[in-house]
Amino acid sequence: MTILVTGAAGFIGYHACEVLLARGETVTGVDSLNDYYDPALKQARLARLQGREGFSFHRLDIAEADALKALTLDARPDRILHLAAQAGVRYSIDNPHAYARSNLDGQLSVLEAARALGGDLKHLVYASSSSVYGEREGPFRESDRIDAPVSLYAATKGAGELMCAAYARLYGIPATGLRFFTVYGPWGRPDMAYWLFADAMVEGRALKLFNEGRNRRDFTYVDDIVAPMLRVLADDPARAAHRIYNIGGSHPHPTADLVRALEAALGVKAQTEAVPAQPGDVSLTYADVSKLAADYGYAPTVDLQTGIARFAEWFRDWRAQTS
């Protein structure tokens, strides 16, 4: 396979490139390396990919439609794995336009690049999010309505799905959207709770438990995202097919479970501070993964304790190297 990976220096993109390169695939990576979180972490991920057989990297903002299209026509991938996005719910309160640029303009640029490839493109797989479901009881099913987002991030991810559905139908693009649920692991994201908590714990600061610790999240270890995502990517759906799948642990945990797993893994007792819910946050994420299980044999394998222990081991090394 020849694959264009957007967001290649991001958390999930980096892990996907690692697996693809280990399999001997040809990967063209694209990322803007923006400073939403420490670009040194993105550079460090990238450094592990650069120089590897089959890998090339282009620093590019995907909202630059002409540049992305030119690069795509030059690389002629038969698959596109589109992971670049402005992620995070809280950041959208102060930086709404960053979401429009990456998740709407950027999504459209990727679709235009896919359109330009015509019949040579066998599959476009792109990241959506559990946040599209808004505030509701679980488990969340792909057939649920997604018209009540509680953050701009969620609204742009939902809009991205609709844009893709239209392009798939109009231009015959075989496309699949994957709704990820709270992904964590080594080389993860410094803006997410597991990292913020780990940082606070090793520095002896109190952790903020939003919504007084009542939030529940369907934590998903990164390998339980990447392997099935690449299985889907390798598939050749019919032209014009547009499908959506949940991909998540399907086992929501209260924040207290995350704190306990980190305490065990880091050997540190957490000090906690209960604070009100944050605007844009939902109280529950919970994936029904029966559709992905039926079509692709999906079965998550890494539980929260095991996954957090792997994250913590990497996190200690990362802190030691960077502090």
Minimum distance from residue 321 beta carbon to ligand NAD (Å): 19
CA angle 296, 297, 300 (to 5 degrees): 115
- Exactly one of 153, 167, 221, 245 is catalytic; which is it? 153
Residue 266 and residue 165: Cα distance in Å, rounded?
44
Taking the least distance from each CB to ligand NAD, the nearer of 189 and 243 is 189
Place of tokens 């690449």: 230
Taking the least distance from each CB to ligand NAD, the nearer of 132 and 168 is 132
154, 222 Cβ separation under 8 angstroms: no
Minimum distance from residue 183 beta carbon to ligand NAD (Å): 4
CA distances from 116 to 2, 82, 166, 167, 304 (A): 16, 16, 15, 12, 42
Minimum distance from residue 17 beta carbon to ligand NAD (Å): 11
Taking the least distance from each CB to ligand NAD, the nearer of 192 and 268 is 192
User: Please, what's the largest Cα pairwise distance for the chain?
Assistant: 56
Taking the least distance from each CB to ligand NAD, the nearer of 157 and 242 is 157
In 3D space, the residue among 219, 82, 83, 98 whose CA is nearest the CA of residue 152 turns out to be 98
CA angle 29, 115, 62 (to 5 degrees): 35
Which residue's CB atom is positioned nearest to ligand NAD?
Answer: 10
Minimum distance from residue 119 beta carbon to ligand NAD (Å): 26
Q: In what order do the strands lie in the sheet with 2-6?
A: 55-59, 26-31, 2-6, 79-82, 123-129, 175-180, 242-247
Minimum distance from residue 245 beta carbon to ligand NAD (Å): 13
Residue 157 and residue 146: Cα distance in Å, rounded?
10
Would you call 14 a catalytic residue per the annotation? no
10 Å CB burial of residue 317 (0-12, 13-18, 19+) is: exposed
Taking the least distance from each CB to ligand NAD, the nearer of 106 and 237 is 106
Minimum distance from residue 4 beta carbon to ligand NAD (Å): 12
Taking the least distance from each CB to ligand NAD, the nearer of 29 and 237 is 29
Minimum distance from residue 49 beta carbon to ligand NAD (Å): 12
Taking the least distance from each CB to ligand NAD, the nearer of 8 and 239 is 8
Q: List Cβ neighbours of 318 (8 Å cut-off, separation of 6 or more).
A: none
Residue 94 and residue 89: Cα distance in Å, rounded?
10
Strands 253-254 and 216-217: antiparallel
Residues that bind ligand NAD (CB under 6 A): 7, 9-13, 31-34, 42, 61-63, 83-87, 101-102, 106, 127, 129, 180, 182-183, 189
Q: List Cβ neighbours of 249 (8 Å cut-off, separation of 6 or more).
A: 181, 182, 218, 219, 220, 221, 224, 287, 300, 304
10 Å CB burial of residue 145 (0-12, 13-18, 19+) is: exposed
Number of residues in the chain: 323
Catalytic residues: 153
